[in-house]
A = this chain, B = another copy of it.
Amino acid sequence: MRVIVIGSGIAGASAAYHLARRGAEVVVVDADRTGAATAAGAGIISPWATRDELHYPFAAAAASYYPELVAELGEHTAEETSYAVVGALVASADEAVLRAAHERVEARAATRPAAGEVALLDPAQARELFPPLAPELAAVHISGGARVDGRRIRASMLDAARARGAELRSGHAELDGDGVRVSGESIAADAVVVAAGAWSGELVAALGVRIDIAPQRGQISHLGVADIAGIAGTPTARWPVVSPVSSHYLLAFPDARVVVGATRETGAGFDHRVTAAGQAEVLEQALAVAPGLRDATLLETRVGFRPASADGQPVLGPLRDHPHVVLASGFGSGGLTLAPYAGSLVADLALGEPVSFDLTPFRPDRFGDG
């Protein structure tokens, strides 16, 4: 059975890996678009504190899947996944907010062992774990919180897919009856996975199908906290991820780098720019939570286009009138958490196998003609 995967971001890479592992003949095609969300994103894997009950179940299942996936990848590739369980801080100056969060996470951790241990930390304890934190912020600590670098987890899944025979091709793909046209050449396929991120809507439009997926721009900055030539005097590799109450977050990487983000801008289309207001917002939010980063170096700011669906939910499943075309998109800002798991489910769908999670809310045809 031959499956073509359009897009090699985290969703496409996961689908390709799971398909190849289950024995399918896989061809991955990528147009190398500027602004691919996976390359810009830096990910917090810690869904247990969310107040969004609608999103929680799928996110929790996806977070639980990560350790299993990472262990399995280690058998297929030498590429590191970058996934690291460093703990998460949900920080706030409002005791009531924290108590509620604590209760919420504890209840969920009872059935989701991936969340690990949950504890309330006073500001001093919180700063011990994440030194730049504002002195007035206390935190809920979730020991199972993890981080992942989008580029690396993608690369490790693609390398593992390649090791299992997947072919990787560069080129613009177009849906075309039973198959895909890549740079002029037609390739037949038994199934096609559309994992083209914010460009997924454009792709299926060629079949006359309308899916409400639009680019949501994210601007995300990398701050350097090196003490000597690229190395920090404190081990940033062990700093927990930090998610305040707002949608902004902070996470550290081993190379003395703290990633802070991100804007959520709709209506800007594929306008790939760092803007004055976007950069200001990212820095202001980060410094409000972690004033200890005031003197950090602004190393770079990345721009990515998240695939945002009209109702904020993923878009997963076959097209009603073209059942061999399976969508894997619409993850919004949750792609790095959701897509590896979603890719495994979509692989099952494309192979006609039963799927272990109820994907009904994510059906493409909820937008009318998907």
Contact = CB atoms under 8 A, between A and B. Distances in A.
Interface in A27-74: 28-30, 32, 36, 39
Given A32-B229, A231-B158, A233-B162, A276 B254 contact: no
A8 interface: yes
Interface stretch (A100-108, A294-302, A304-312, A358-366): A294-302
Q: Give the dominant DSSP class at A's interface.
A: mixed
A232 B162 CA distance: 10
A286 B276 contact: yes
Interface in A154-200: 155, 158-159, 162-163, 167-170
A296 B280 contact: no
Contact of A277 (B36, B79, B295): B295
B298 A274 contact: yes
Given A159-B231, A273-B297, A294-B277, A284 B287 contact: no
Given A283-B276, A295-B275, A228 B170 contact: yes
A231 B8 contact: yes
A280 B274 contact: no
Contacts of A231: 8, 155, 158-159, 162, 168
25 contacts: A8-B228, A28-B228, A36-B229, A39-B229, A39-B230, A78-B84, A78-B254, A79-B237, A155-B230, A155-B254, A155-B255, A159-B231, A162-B233, A167-B233, A169-B228, A170-B228, A170-B229, A275-B294, A275-B295, A275-B296, A276-B286, A276-B293, A276-B297, A276-B298, A298-B301
Interface of A: 8, 28-30, 32, 36, 39, 78-80, 84, 151, 155, 158-159, 162-163, 167-170, 221, 223, 227-233, 235, 237, 254-255, 273-277, 279-280, 283-284, 286-287, 293-298, 301
